[in-house]
A and B are shown apart, each in its own frame.
Chain A
Amino acid sequence: MDFNDSPDEAAYREKARVWLAENAAAHRAEHGEPGPTTPEHMAAAKAWQARKAAAGYACITWPAAFGGGGGTPIQSVIFGQEEAKAGVSYGYFTIGLGMCVPTVMAFGDDATKQRFVSPAVKGDEIWCQLFSEPAGGSDVAALRTRAVRDGDEWVINGQKVWTTGAHYSDYGIVLVRTDPDVPKHKGLTMFWIDMRDPAVERRPIHQMSGGRDFNEVYFTDLRIKDSQRLGAVGEGWKVALVTLMNERLAVGGSAGPDYRQVMELARGLPGAQGPALKDQAFRETLADWYVNSQGLKYTRFRTMTALSRGQTPGPESSIGKIISANQLQDLANTAVEAQDEYGVLTDPALAPMEAAFQQSLMWAPGLRIAGGTDEILKNIIAERVLGLPGDVRVDKDVAFKDMPTGR
């Protein structure tokens, strides 16, 4: 039991380090460090992606014929670790390359794959995933956006929601209802669409956290070709499962303060009896967070070990978001309460650690929902890992149009 790379892995890591040191410096010299969400930030992200693709470090496990690196999963993990250390990383491509383009690769025809895969790998084009709807979140298959066939075309009307990156994406994969007369899972079909079509309207959602990171997307008589179909008509759910299988990997861990920052905060914070860090209840909670954080860290190491041995990783990585999202919420709240009345302040110039805890407090509820709610993730562990039966499905044999609905 150790944490060492195999000789091959060590060689790969060294090569990646050397490449990153040179190229991160060159990249910074050229692009600086533009603020998030600016056009300059996007330009820098695309340039970095292109630089990686040229060197075989983009989509490391994909075939070289599609612009990938032709490498192994463990190489991909190693490069990701080194890239994070080099401090250059952009989130724009995660959903497209993690979920959408793999779906295109699995279900698109040759012409479609030739047209789209390589530009996505190089960062020329960004993709988003359009599944969730106001009437279908955890129950995605209850979605209502309708596609009606018209000769060699389809006409799409309806609304998607919580679409990450819709406002900067060039293309998207969209799951729509093509047959309301059959049960819900059977009447769905997947297509790719051009997000810049005038029939696609994108509106940012104002979140409880105050930010606008996600979108609603409205389709009004969007006309697309039948050749944009991914998989057979009525087989959309099967296609979506392939996309969603990749989601847990793509959504991954949480950014935000961890036990170290709370410890740092509590060290300097006056409590009723000395520094907050000396409060016994606080110390016990801190120990629990540390244990959970370490648990997740070493669970990732176990997954890496399986990859390193050329095995399929076990299901243990499924515990990640359930723990990290809940812990972020608890940790942020404890840190805010430790500030006592001052904890209400959200001005980064006033609140400790530039208001990181106040921001996390307001962001964490979204994290517990995005990419599978706590409840859905527990269902997944129960059903896929522990082999327990699925829930009773009262809508299983009912035509979609006859399903009871709320608002």
Chain B
Amino acid sequence: MDFDYSDDQKFLKDEARKFLAARCPSSVVRGVLDDPGKSYDAGLWRAVAEQGWLGAAIPERFNGLGLGRVELCAIAEELGRALAPIPFASTVYLLAEAVMAHGTETQKAAILPRIAAGQLIGCLATSEGPGVITSSVLQAKVDGGKLTGVKIPVTDGDAADMALVLANESGRPGLFLVDLRAGGVKVETLDSLDPTRGVARLTFDGAVADRLGEAGQGFALVQAILDRAAVLLAFEQLGGADRCLEMAREYALGRYAFGRVIAGYQAIKHKLADMYVRNEVARSNAYYAAWALNVDAPELPTAAAAARIAASDAFWFASKESVQVHGGMGFTWDVDCHLYYRRSRQLSLVAGAPKLWKERLVSELEKKNAA
């Protein structure tokens, strides 16, 4: 039984924590939060690229580090903890993973080395409006290799160089790589719940679209891509949830009311214990999903769903109750609680809300039981 980070992975994680403590303190996060013109921190992005993290899981022949997915999970956990305001998830968990899993050699050679070098930012563009995107509401279409349609919201769409776009081609849904610097695209930055992560509307009018994976398999491809991304996002959520518990604990130990620290009152103690319980459930599910992702196990769909559900729940609970433990201070702009509260919403909403994943999980369990 070896169901934990190895010593090397722990070392990598510790180094990542130290690096982010130095390079991504909350002032960097707030630099993006408070500047409407800034959708990510370019300095941090370059530094992360120099660390090699963007290519951590990219094979060495494409100039990546060629590490495993568990190493990438360890990095994700630390990025989540630090609330890193960079398009890492969109570029690495979505675009790079999608190209590695479904791309042709030509696509891999064109895209992966640029990602590893920090020269290409990616994004996933599926949604076109409120509610769940399904084949009956999908409007974007590709005709003769040219894309038209509107995608809103697109996380990191304003910073991205390349988008993965869900669109119909000859009436069948497909997934397409679109170079956002090649014209035929209008990019508008939008306000969002979490201003530390960029969001845009992308309007396509004849942009060149290069199909990724099989024709007609757009929704299946998106699901396969999200299965992988969900695992990595769960580690970001876990890192955030752990930090919320620590912040609430530190505050409760220093805050006096009725003559003693509030950390001594059972109403607070039990709240923090509840956070701990949820975080551990999230951690154990995330570890299992990391294993499934790393070895491409057939259990990945259920493992990813369970990890995403548990991590979404843990981060939501920890972030909202951390505000509560901080009392009035927690409701101010100046205390960091709301940064986590915002990020917990952003991470739960991107890549499919938990309700969808619960349905997916139960559907998978039904299949398994029927088999």
Contact A392 B260 (CB under 8 A): yes
C-alpha gap A121/B85 in the complex (Å)? 59
Which size bracket describes the interface of A in this complex? 35 or more
C-alpha gap A395/B269 in the complex (Å)? 21
A340 contacts partner chain B, Cβ-Cβ < 8 Å = no
C-alpha gap A394/B357 in the complex (Å)? 49
Task: Please judge, given known A-B contacts A294-B288, A298-B285, A382-B269, whether A388 and B249 are in contact too, CB under 8 Å.
Answer: yes
Contact B309 A383 (CB under 8 A): no
Task: Please judge, given known A-B contacts A295-B282, A392-B264, whether A386 and B249 are in contact too, CB under 8 Å.
Answer: yes
Could you tell me which residues of chain B, from 302 to 360, have a CB within 8 Å of some CB in chain A? Answer: 305-306, 309-310, 313, 355, 357-359
C-alpha gap A336/B2 in the complex (Å)? 39
Could you tell me which residues of chain B, from 4 to 29, have a CB within 8 Å of some CB in chain A? Answer: 4-6
Contact B264 A299 (CB under 8 A): no
A30 contacts partner chain B, Cβ-Cβ < 8 Å = no
Contact B285 A305 (CB under 8 A): no
| Chain B residues, CB < 8 A from A2 | 2-3, 291
| Chain B residues, CB < 8 A from A308 | 1-2
Contact A302 B4 (CB under 8 A): yes
**Measured between C-beta atoms, what is the minimum distance from B345 to chain A in Å?**
19
| Chain B residues, CB < 8 A from A296 | 281, 284
C-alpha gap A198/B333 in the complex (Å)? 71
Contact B2 A323 (CB under 8 A): no
A-B contact count (CB 8 A): 157
Question: Within the complex, which residue of A1, A277, A287, A323 is in contact with B5, where a contact is CB–CB below 8 Å?
Answer: A1
| Chain A residues, CB < 8 A from B263 | 388-389
Question: Within the complex, which residue of B2, B270, B366 is in contact with A4, where a contact is CB–CB below 8 Å?
Answer: B2
- Can you name the residue of chain A whose Cβ is closest to the Cβ of B249? A386
C-alpha gap A392/B269 in the complex (Å)? 13
| Chain A residues, CB < 8 A from B3 | 1-3, 298, 301-302, 304-305
C-alpha gap A205/B366 in the complex (Å)? 42
A282-297 CB contact bits vs B (8 Å, 1 = yes)?
0110111011101111
B277 contacts partner chain A, Cβ-Cβ < 8 Å = yes
Contact B280 A1 (CB under 8 A): no
C-alpha gap A260/B368 in the complex (Å)? 11
Contact A295 B281 (CB under 8 A): yes
Question: Within the complex, which residue of A277, A299, A388, A392 is in contact with B281, where a contact is CB–CB below 8 Å?
Answer: A299
**Measured between C-beta atoms, what is the minimum distance from B71 to chain A in Å?**
10
Could you tell me which residues of chain A, from 348 to 380, have a CB within 8 Å of some CB in chain B? Answer: 375, 377-379
Contact A288 B309 (CB under 8 A): yes
| Chain B residues, CB < 8 A from A297 | 284
A344 contacts partner chain B, Cβ-Cβ < 8 Å = no
In this complex, how many residues of chain B approach chain A with their Cβ under 8 Å: the count is 49
Contact B273 A295 (CB under 8 A): no
Contact A263 B369 (CB under 8 A): yes
A391 contacts partner chain B, Cβ-Cβ < 8 Å = yes
Contact B310 A378 (CB under 8 A): no
C-alpha gap A373/B302 in the complex (Å)? 32
Question: Within the complex, which residue of B4, B269, B282 is in contact with A305, where a contact is CB–CB below 8 Å?
Answer: B4
| Chain A residues, CB < 8 A from B5 | 1
Contact A382 B270 (CB under 8 A): yes
Task: Please judge, given known A-B contacts A382-B269, A388-B252, A392-B264, whether A1 and B4 are in contact too, CB under 8 Å.
Answer: yes
| Chain B residues, CB < 8 A from A9 | 1
Q: Is the interface of B mostly helix, strand, loop or mixed?
A: helix
- Can you name the residue of chain B whose Cβ is closest to the Cβ of A259? B365
- Can you name the residue of chain B whose Cβ is closest to the Cβ of A385? B276
Contact A302 B253 (CB under 8 A): no
A64 contacts partner chain B, Cβ-Cβ < 8 Å = no
B272 contacts partner chain A, Cβ-Cβ < 8 Å = yes
Contact A291 B309 (CB under 8 A): yes
Task: Please judge, given known A-B contacts A302-B284, A382-B269, whether A5 and B309 are in contact too, CB under 8 Å.
Answer: no
C-alpha gap A23/B4 in the complex (Å)? 35
B266 contacts partner chain A, Cβ-Cβ < 8 Å = yes
B361 contacts partner chain A, Cβ-Cβ < 8 Å = yes
Q: Which of B260, B261, B310 has the most CB of A within 10 A?
A: B310
Task: Please judge, given known A-B contacts A295-B284, A299-B284, A392-B264, whether A4 and B1 are in contact too, CB under 8 Å.
Answer: yes
| Chain A residues, CB < 8 A from B274 | 378
Contact B276 A292 (CB under 8 A): no
B217 contacts partner chain A, Cβ-Cβ < 8 Å = no
| Chain A residues, CB < 8 A from B273 | 377-379, 381-382, 385-386
Question: Within the complex, which residue of A288, A301, A309, A386 is in contact with B358, where a contact is CB–CB below 8 Å?
Answer: A288
**Measured between C-beta atoms, what is the minimum distance from A141 to chain B in Å?**
18
A322 contacts partner chain B, Cβ-Cβ < 8 Å = yes
| Chain B residues, CB < 8 A from A322 | 277
B287 contacts partner chain A, Cβ-Cβ < 8 Å = yes
Task: Sort A-B residue pairs by CB-CB distance and give the 9 closest, nearest first.
Answer: A295-B281, A382-B269, A287-B358, A298-B284, A378-B273, A381-B273, A389-B264, A301-B3, A299-B284
A-B contact pairs, 12 of them (CB 8 A): A3-B291, A4-B1, A4-B2, A264-B369, A286-B365, A298-B284, A301-B284, A302-B287, A304-B3, A382-B273, A383-B269, A389-B253
Residues of chain B at the chain A interface (Cβ within 8 Å):
1-6, 70, 245, 249, 252-253, 260-261, 263-264, 266, 268-270, 272-274, 276-277, 280-285, 287-288, 290-291, 294, 305-306, 309-310, 313, 355, 357-359, 361-362, 365-366, 369
